[in-house]
Structure 1
Amino acid sequence: MQEAQFIQQHADKWRTFEAQLGQKQVKDPEKLANLFIAITDDLAFARTHFPQGQAVSYLNAMAGKVYQEIHQKQRFDRAAFGRYWLIDLPLNVYQMRWYMLYSLLFFMAFVALGVLSSHHDENYVRIILGDAYVDQTLYNIQNGDPLAIYKQTNAFGMFYYIAKNNLSVAFRTFAAGILFSVGTVYILAINGVMLGTFQYMFVSHGLLAESVLTIWIHGTIEILCIVIAGGSGILLGSSWLFPGTYSRVESLKRGAATGGRVLLGLIPFIIVAAALESFATRHTEWPNIIRVGIILSSLVLMVGYFVYWPWQVARRLARQPKRLEEDAEPTLSELLAFITMKS
């Protein structure tokens, strides 16, 4: 066979291939794979019989285009991204709302324990926070800048360290739930007692207002993230302990998936809290109205997104009839059930 005959014989097929590659809509991966195989078969034939011909160059370029189509990165799906943050993640939060409440109650109990222990034993604060930290804080109080501890480190270095540490705490709080939720409660206990002790140290020196206006600039988001991570960990342990109608392994998988998704959703909030602690908390000279505004904005953000919005999404979806996924291929039983529901 001559090269001209080869080209003429396959021209219509290659024209069809070009049209398929030129389509703007998302392409079927299986069709692309079959297209790549057909092109490379023709390329192999051309290389064998017409190694110096034009067909080889053309088919080689075509094969390269198909290869790029197959291996190109997925385009950023804005709709899916928006759905994740506005619907999927809030629904996961709603599913574990009771576990978040349990986590909050545990945490508040341990905060109260830290406050009461510090109130009855003045040395308790040194046991929990360490002598070096307490001595430095007392020195700062005597020098008229009680929260200067937040100003002693470079802001960018502080941001990296705090973000890394708080992310680690959140992930450990979740993962520790595998120990029948006891591990999660233990981490909540450590952090709760530390917070109660730390806060009382300033209260005992008559610095309640100043400490609240400073610490809670970042603490509002940071502490609530720990509480939510605690809810994820308690869910993980409870799914293992109380599998219900599922097998224990299946229940654990479901609990880990729900809790894990919520935990991943906390990452940007934890980073924001670290940024506030590094770049805003240190400015104790800011007017109180600004500091109060940051604290209230943080509280509205966390309560709005992790409490109010999940409840709204769940309530709205509960009022809507369930529909078959448009992209799915339903079974006959699903179609019959759908028709019955519609009628």
Structure 2
Amino acid sequence: MRWLVLLFLACLAAPAVAQTDYAGQLQGGDVVLRGFRFGSGAVLPQLRIHYWTLGAPHRDGQGRIDNAVMILHGTGGTGRQFLAPQFADELFGPGQPLDIRHYYIILPDNIGHGLSSKPSDGMRMRFPAYDYDDMVEAQRQMLAALHVGQLRLAMGTSMGCMHIFVWAEAHPDFARAAMPMACLPVQLAGHNRMWREAAIQGIRHDPAWQGGDYRTEPLAGLRTAATVLQIAGMAPLWLQREYPTRDAANAYIDQRIDQAVTQLDANDLIYQLDASRNYDPSPRLEAIRVPMTWVNSADDFINPPGYGIAERAAGRMPTARYVLVPASADTHGHGTHTWARFWKDQLVDLLRRTERPGDGS
């Protein structure tokens, strides 16, 4: 399945770790949204949103589900990526912060990703040009179909982090707590827009792309895009320690790119990267009222701390706490968002400070 390789966008260079069999406990399903209208005005007769769940819903005295946790993936990922041991084995087990005996974990595949509707299903470049507002609206309708009103917690990594900010402004009471990780709440410009555009144009300028109507994947364009994506997600300190010689470094990056190219779909990737084109929550940050712990990492190439953007933005959100994970040879660059040991204590604190009397979790 494609998600096994696209995991590189969320948890780069993960070593083998003993893992609980959460996949064996996973439940999957689809919500079909009929007549889904995109912000562009385009309408799909049926938009399929696939989701995965762990645990079971619990209802309060008024019959409302009160233990739902939605975790949103990054660009190119799927909900299943959160079964990676460095995430799941730190969070979902007995006595852990999101113990699935107590929480109902919802892991959507967002529009254009995983088993949800996407260009490669057949529409190719005629698929509606979705953006983050469309993706959040589809998530909202999916939760409604699952009878989830307010979430106990919303988490998101990378693109999912940005979705949390969209949610928090569009639906202020959507969750009792929010934990966005690895993003900035500003328009994607500068190098963050440039590397995305470089990857998109690498595909578009491959003659084999044929305007999206290719019979076989445009491999030269995909190789360009995959190379850019690898660079964007790298963790320099970790890589220097693990691959300290030229030959080791060459073998590692060649293997990563070769593997990615065989698993990517060119049209899907164009849409995934371009969905961020009009994202910009910065004008309305003061309106955010959900209690939030926002986590970035100091070795994140995509969201470097040197901008000073995060500190200024956090100062405009009275319910937000901003945490910067220090860079080390053990952190994983942008992908630190999937290594829960670096921020698990912050999650515990967020859940504790948003408890209500009678919470059983």
**Which structure's residues are more often strand, by fraction?**
2
**Which structure's residues are more often helix, by fraction?**
1
TM-score, length basis structure 1: 0.25
TM-score, length basis structure 2: 0.24
